[in-house]
Amino acid sequence: MQWYRFISVGKVQHVYYRKFVSQAMMRAGFNGYIRNLPDGTVESVVFIEDEAQELPEVLQILKEGSPMSEVEEVRYETMREVPEVEFDGFTIRY
């Protein structure tokens, strides 16, 4: 069980990427949040219980993105500190 931080790079802002990803993550049962970053990328913070099964699923959701997005790359890392996140869904932060 671990928190992961993902950075989605490409055409991911102003194309409904955050909404699409947050809905897909909620349907899949993940907890966390997604937000735009000032440099044009999008950050997603996700709690993953089973790395072998869930990490590929999260990466697939992030790489697919919304129909109008063009995801070039998704980078990720494990988080050392536990973020301030509610354990009842996947939210969009502004």
Q: Is 75 a catalytic residue?
A: no
8 Å CB contact between 18 and 36: yes
Question: How many Å separate Cα 51 from the centre of its chain?
Answer: 15
**27 annotated active-site:** no
Catalytic residue among 18, 35, 75, 80: 18
Catalytic residue from among 5, 27, 31, 36: 36
Residues labelled as active-site residues: 18, 36
